[in-house]
Amino acid sequence: MADAPHIPVLLNPILEKCAPVHGVWLDGTFGYGGYSYALKEAGASKVIGVDQDPDVIARNQNLPEGITLIQGRFGDLDKLVDEPLDGVVLDIGVSSMQIDEGARGFSFMRDGPLDMRMSQSGPSAADVVNRGDEELIANILFQFGEERKSRRIARAIVAARREGDITSTLQLAEIIKKNLPHPKPNQPHPATRSFQALRIAVNDELGELARGLNAAEAALAPGGLLVVVTFHSLEDRMVKRFMQIRSGNAPRANRYAPETEADAARFEKVTRKAIEATEAECAANPRARSARLRIARRLETPAAYTDPHDIGMPKIDLSKGGIL
Ligand SMILES: C[S@@+](CC[C@H](N)C(=O)[O-])C[C@H]1O[C@@H](n2cnc3c(N)ncnc32)[C@H](O)[C@@H]1O
């Protein structure tokens, strides 16, 4: 989609740090294909795109030679390919295409069914809001949205649904707005944090990120690059911690105990600190403002498994609390 309105975030530093781009790359969040096209053009012999959204697959039926697209989740990326990879790139989150379409139910600015599922399958935001118990809803809002008024909002949701199911985005946005103080000028809409939290929960975005990092470790060839762009502090913290632990830089529980195979480095960091967008990029693309880029290079040591909670994934069990 060379004519797509979408501007890929932090593309220049990605290409610069990964130069010379070569071999087989996997773009785990294809979206508009911004990274896939650029990586192919920069020298990748092949780019395998992955996206969980059936609409993305339907819109990209005619891709140029050397770029393919699979419907799936990047958390399973090691199972989606049968060759070692020279690079994996993940651009975490939703696309503007998904947010802008009211019928997908991501936006508190556009009316639509309370859906928010990128894959268009599984439990929706309406299921969480109408079937989740009050404590689970409050935990989701607090942990995934850093919403300090989480308990008050959860209570209001549970009270409102006694009158009947909450089915639309604007209906939920109104319930939240009515129960929070009026925002001051230049403050975000009161439902911003809650909608973000519900989206993260519905799509199990943090679980996917943890699975994706482990899967990339398994699928990358020695020398292969892991490139991750995040937009949320919780996600950036998980990526940072993963790269720290996997590059052997995290403190061990007992530094006097002999170093074991489990402690051996699987990656070396390419970016010491997260790379942020320049002022010029933020001016051209406001979405870039919260973006953080981290890159690490795969070493020879065979892959192992990192527990999601060891890299800071909040402990919320979505299978409890009435939703699944
Ligand atoms: C921010 S957009 C990517 C934009 C892309 N980098 C570009 O430049 O065009 C995120 C895309 O990743 C997809 N996505 C999000 N989480 C995913 C997951 N766990 N597995 C596969 N695709 C995912 C979404 O459906 C969406 O299309």
Domain end (from 202, 231, 252): 202
For residue 46, the number of C-alpha atoms closer than 13 Å in the C-beta half-sphere is: 9
Chain centre to alpha carbon of residue 13: 19
> Are residues 150 and 79 part of one domain?
no
Q: Give backbone dihedrals phi and psi of 163, rounded to 5 degrees, phi first.
A: -85, -10
Ligand 1 atom closest to the CA of 73, numbered from 1: 20
- β-pair type (220-230, 267-269): unpaired
Q: Which of 14, 26, 40, 52 has most ligand 1 atoms within 8 Å of its beta carbon, as the pocket-test mutant?
A: 52
| Same-domain pairing of 194 and 256 | no
Same domain, 170 and 227: no
Residue type, 135: E
CA distance 246 to 17: 19
Per-residue pLDDT at 263: 77
215 in a structural domain: yes
Q: How far apart are CA 30 and CA 37, in angstroms?
A: 10
Write out the residue range of the structural domain in which residue 243 sits.
11-96+205-311
Q: What confidence score (pLDDT) does residue 201 get?
A: 95
Nearest CA to ligand 1 atom 8: 34
CA neighbor of 223 nearest in space, from 294, 298, 295, 296: 298
Write out the DSSP string of 47-95: EEEEES-HHHHHHTSSPPTTEEEEES-GGGHHHH-SS-EEEEEEE-S--
Report the atom number in ligand 1 closest to the C-alpha of 6. 9
Shared-domain flag, residues 210 and 307: yes
Token pair, residue 80, equals 């989606």
Q: Which domain-ending residue is among 155, 181, 202?
A: 202
Q: In terms of domains, do 259 and 240 share one?
A: yes
Q: How far is the CA of 19 from the centre of ligand 1 (A)?
A: 23
* 74 & 215 share domain: yes
Domain end position, chosen among 202, 222, 238: 202
Q: Is 89 left (phi over 0), alpha (psi -120 to 50) or beta?
A: beta
Residues composing the chain: 324
Residue 108 per-residue DSSP state: S
Q: For residue 31, which atom of ligand 1 is closest to its CA?
A: 27
Q: What is the distance in A from the centroid of ligand 1 to the CA of 257?
A: 42
pLDDT of the residue at 97 = 87
* C-alpha 1 to ligand 1 mean position (Å): 15
**Amino acid 276: pLDDT:** 98
pLDDT recorded at residue 93: 87
What is the rounded distance in angstroms from the CA atom of residue 292 to the CA atom of residue 299?
Answer: 23
Residue 102 CA to residue 120 CA, distance in Å, equals 14
3-state DSSP call for residue 223? strand
Residue 6 lies in a domain: no
pLDDT at 140: 96
228: number of CA atoms within 13 Å, CB side? 30
Whether 187 and 210 share a structural domain: no
Lookup result for tokens 């795969």: 298
The pTM of the full predicted model, rounded to 2 decimals, is: 0.94
Ligand 1 pocket test, candidate residues 3, 27, 30, 39, most atoms within 8 A of CB: 30
Any idea what the CATH number is for the domain that residue 121 is in?
1.10.150.170
Residues near ligand 1 (Cβ within 6 A): 6, 8, 28-29, 31-35, 50-53, 56, 73-75, 91, 93, 95, 118, 208
- 112 with 60, same domain? no
* φ, ψ of residue 134 in degrees (nearest 5): -55, -40
Q: How far is the CA of 70 from the centre of ligand 1 (A)?
A: 12
**Taking Cα atoms as reference points, which of 141, 143, 162 lies closest to residue 152?**
141
Say which DSSP state 122 is in: S
DSSP state, residue 145: H
Residue in the block written with tokens 């060379």: 2
Q: Do 116 and 167 sit in the same domain of this protein?
A: yes
Pocket test residue of 118, 204, 235 for ligand 1, highest count of atoms within 8 A of CB: 118
Would you say 190 and 170 are in contact if contact means Cβ atoms under 8 Å apart? Answer: no
- pLDDT, one tens digit for every residue, the chain (324 residues): 444 467 899 999 999 999 999 999 999 999 999 999 999 999 999 999 999 999 999 999 999 999 999 999 999 999 999 999 999 999 998 988 898 889 999 999 999 999 999 999 999 999 999 999 999 999 999 999 999 999 999 999 999 999 999 999 999 999 999 999 888 888 889 999 999 999 999 999 999 999 999 999 999 999 999 999 999 999 999 999 999 999 987 666 566 666 666 778 999 999 999 999 999 999 999 889 999 999 999 999 999 999 999 999 988 877 766 665
Element (H, E) at 228: strand 220-230
**pLDDT computed for residue 96 by the predictor:** 87
Q: Distance from the CA of 139 to the center of ligand 1, in angstroms?
A: 25
